[in-house]
Amino acid sequence: MILFGGDYNPEQWDAATWASDDALMRAAQVNTATVGVFSWALLEPSEGSFSFDWLDATLDRLHANGVRVVLATPTASPPPWFTLAHPDAMPVRPDGSRLWHGSRDTYCAAAPAYREASLRIAAELGKRYGSHPALAMWHVHNEYGTMCWCDHAASAFRAWLRARYRSLDSLNEAWGTAFWSQHYSSWDQVLPPRATQYLPNPGQSLDFRRFWSDELLARYVEQRDVLRSHTPDVPVTTNFMGPENLVMDPWSWGQEVDAVSVDHYLSSVSPLAGAADIAFVSDWARGVGLGRPWLLMEQAPSTVIADGVLSHRSPGRMLADSLGYVARGSDSALFFQWRASRAGAEMYHPALVPHAGADSRIFAETVALGATLSRLGEVAGSVSVPSSAAVLVDAASHWALQTRGLPSPHVRHLDVARALHGALWRSGIGCDVVAPGADLSAYPLVVVPAVYLLSSSAASCLRSYVAGGGQLVVTFCSGIADEQHRIWLDGYPGVLRDVLGIRVEEFHPLQPASSVGLAGSSGTGRLRTGGLWTGRLWTERLRTEGAAVLASYDSGDLAGLPAVTKHSFGTGTAWYLSTLLSDDALTALLGEIASAAGIVGSPPRVSVTRREASDGRSWLFAFNHGDGPASVPASGVDLLTDLEVTGTLELPPGGYAVIRERTR
Ligand code: GAL
């Protein structure tokens, strides 16, 4: 079964509306409701006293209606009584100001009172609902990611640092405290990076992000373990924010959840950009779970919030986009939220049942989506076939590149990762998202997009990969510093210079609106497909040390100097991009590198992915994102239409199909 439904908040409604919800959920074939995410104040109206009547009634009613429940612990929004009883557990900002209740996510997760209260409500829920027949899954908290700079956080940070560095000498060395008289002579002097006069210490800031990722993970794990003690067989998850908000390190969190769950809100109205975004986020979610099927826990029905303005996806896109996630490993299409609220901070947030009610386009599309997903039940549980290309994504590099005082505030690891992933996607090449240090041996092509921090061991993995025959594409701002944000010396990127056959002397970042032209160099200009190449965001003064030059800067101080290079290393090849090529150039270049690596992609702007079950059955998902018709080799039955496909699947522009393949 593909899970379909979403956040359901019946506590905002009366009994007549519940009856309507039941009928509409049946009409839409909703099978899953996420309940209780923000219900703490109702469930525990005063400290230590509980009131479960409405939740009992809700679970019974949903069960009677054939809807399974993903039951949340409500710890993302402590009740007002909690603030008054435990003011020390309210979060403190870097400038020392303390926040009050009145919104949500207002707590310090390192505060003992918050931990205690969270575990208490989680235990009560585990005890009361552990054997309820509606319970399908536990949903701990909501979108972990809240950081705090208070004294509780400070002491937890110090404990974390002691475990990491063992001695103050190591910490001083790692943080470079010889600069600006920051040397620590006692652990008590070490603080979170609170507001200070000028630039903060980069190592301290980076470690604080790491600390919070681990601290929040510990909070998740302790709730999870309480729930597991009541229900050892019920899966436990927590919904991650999409990769855009890398507040925690997904690679460590992915191993602690029974299913990776992700919330994804589109930010572009363009169908093409939306489809590329869905592909990136889905590949990321699958990668975080090391290939397991994952859950799209939240998306917005029919809408996109772009630059703070609500826009509608054109009719039919909610369905096509939902299939886009399933094609890349999701076993669900869940939404925030079922019914649009009448009041409250998110009253204008779109819902499957909008303010207009069931007599609306959006609800009609909800019914159509439910009917379509009900045809795909057999796909659930199957795993995505691994891709030919891998893109490295690294939370620590993302955080470190946000440090103030770097050469350009405009370089974001995730933006560069998206740009390269998008280029592969446009070329019809499937991608997995992997962590630095992952086993790369199965991938003919690996892309390293502004992976700014590389430890010597992560760099060794890349070195062995190329030496053993891999094709490696590395961009600017990769391998510049070690895992503590200390520069690798003697020319950038110090830790990869031998593999790339280059040496960078100076960074010349560009203003956001600027770009540079590139010229193909003699002899190797054959890669210059796709018209004039341009670069933006970043340039640099680099010289080759064994690499061939594929394109050079055509003007300015860097005129004639290399911009894109290629180097044979062992039996593989390493390519270097010293600037962010325009989308067309990137697509052309990566497409050529992929085909040289023996990767056969689908036609441009056609996305073809495959999921396989352990018994050998397989399903092919094909989408035509282009402007013209497309043909895809396929044989089997289209689950959306029940039509046979023999040999070739024809897709009109915007068309898609899910083929149960004949045994291949
Ligand atoms: C999510 C959150 C939901 C809801 C939604 C609105 O981040 O988990 O509770 O606020 O955003 O887009």
- Tell me which DSSP letter residue 481 carries: B
| Cβ(346) – ligand 1 distance below 6 Å | yes
C-alpha 175/C-alpha 158 separation (Å) is 14
Indicate the pairing of strand 445-448 with strand 471-475.
parallel
Which residue's CA is the nearest one to ligand 1's atom 11? 336
Catalytic residue among 44, 298, 483, 540: 298
| Cβ(263) – ligand 1 distance below 6 Å | yes
C-alpha 282/C-alpha 626 separation (Å) is 20
The span from the first CA to the last CA of the chain, in angstroms, equals 24
- Token readout for 17 is 């509306």
**Domains recognised in the chain with CATH numbers:** 31-170+209-258 (3.20.20.80), 389-596 (3.40.50.880), 606-661 (2.60.40.1180)
Residue 238 CB partners (closer than 8 Å, separation 6+)? 139, 140, 141, 142, 144, 220, 253, 257, 261
For a mutational test of ligand 1's pocket, the pick from 311, 335, 336, i.e. the residue with the most ligand atoms closer than 8 A to its C-beta, is 336
3-state secondary structure labels for all residues of 12-43: HCCHHHHHHHHHHHHHHCCCEEEECCCCHHHH
The answer to whether residue 540 is catalytic is no
Question: Three-state SS for 323?
Answer: helix
Which residue's CA is the nearest one to ligand 1's atom 4? 336
Q: Are 582 and 599 in contact (CB under 8 A)?
A: no
Q: What is the pLDDT of residue 297?
A: 98
Indicate the pairing of strand 261-263 with strand 295-298.
parallel
With a cut of 50, which residues of the chain have pLDDT below it?
A: 522-527, 529-530
The answer to whether residue 644 is catalytic is no
Going from the Cα of 154 to the center of ligand 1, the distance in angstroms, rounded, reads 29
How many other CB atoms are found less than 10 A from the CB of residue 342? 10
Q: Are 263 and 294 in contact (CB under 8 A)?
A: no
Which residue's CA is the nearest one to ligand 1's atom 10? 346
| Cβ(265) – ligand 1 distance below 6 Å | yes
Going from the Cα of 336 to the center of ligand 1, the distance in angstroms, rounded, reads 7
Beta-bridge partner residues of 580: 536
Going from the Cα of 346 to the center of ligand 1, the distance in angstroms, rounded, reads 9
Q: How far is CA 120 from CA 47, 100, 117, 562, in A?
A: 10, 22, 5, 61
For a mutational test of ligand 1's pocket, the pick from 39, 142, 266, 311, i.e. the residue with the most ligand atoms closer than 8 A to its C-beta, is 142
Q: What's the pTM value of the predicted model, to 2 decimals?
A: 0.97
C-alpha 335/C-alpha 596 separation (Å) is 41
C-alpha 21/C-alpha 61 separation (Å) is 10
- Tell me which DSSP letter residue 541 carries: E
Residue 405 CB partners (closer than 8 Å, separation 6+)? 199, 202
